[in-house]
Amino acid sequence: MTTYYTEDHEWIAVEGDTGTVGITNYAQGQLGDITYVELPAAGATVAKGDAPCVVDSVKAASDVYTPVSGEVAEVNEALADAPELVNTEAESGGWLFRVKLADPAELGALMDKAAYDAFVESL
């Protein structure tokens, strides 16, 4: 599994032709306590840069942009009852949705962990 990052603080962990999408620890830290997550519908088609998901926190509502194009294969149903998973497990159990990749070449425009860490340090 390979994980990529965006400048908008999303991550995507790719295994085969499917990517699991979430927000980074940095993003959840900036948002504060997550109170609600609006997830996309399974089966929905998304284009790279679309905002199919919204994360509400005590500070603000924030769009989550999809790092790649494809079809939403699954959503994290656990977030309906426990949105705080995004805070406690942002880069693992607090994932948001899975997408079947339409164009794996889009991953080339994303950052690896080292590049993302350097990007965050520059903020």
Residue 18 inside a domain? The answer is: yes
Residue 86 inside a domain? The answer is: yes
- Residue the block writes with tokens 């509400």: 56
Residue 68 inside a domain? The answer is: yes
Work out how many domains the chain is built from and give that number.
1
**Residue (of 28, 29, 31, 107) closest to 67 by Cα position:** 107
Spatial distance between the Cα atoms of 33 and 56, rounded to a whole number of angstroms: 9
The parent domain of residue 82 ranges over: 2-105
Model confidence pLDDT, tens digit, residues 68-93: 999 999 999 999 999 999 999 999 99
Structure-block tokens of residue 49: 């840069």
pLDDT for 55: 97
pTM of the model: 0.96
**Residue (of 85, 112, 105, 107) closest to 96 by Cα position:** 85
Q: For residue 51, what pLDDT band results from cuts at 50, 70 and 90? A: very high
Residue 51 inside a domain? The answer is: yes
Spatial distance between the Cα atoms of 84 and 58, rounded to a whole number of angstroms: 11
CATH number at residue 30: 2.40.50.100
Residue 116 inside a domain? The answer is: no
Contact 100, 71 (CB under 8 A): yes
| Residue 34 CB-density burial (10 A; 0-12 exposed, 13-18 middle, 19+ buried) | buried
Residue 45 inside a domain? The answer is: yes
pLDDT for 88: 97
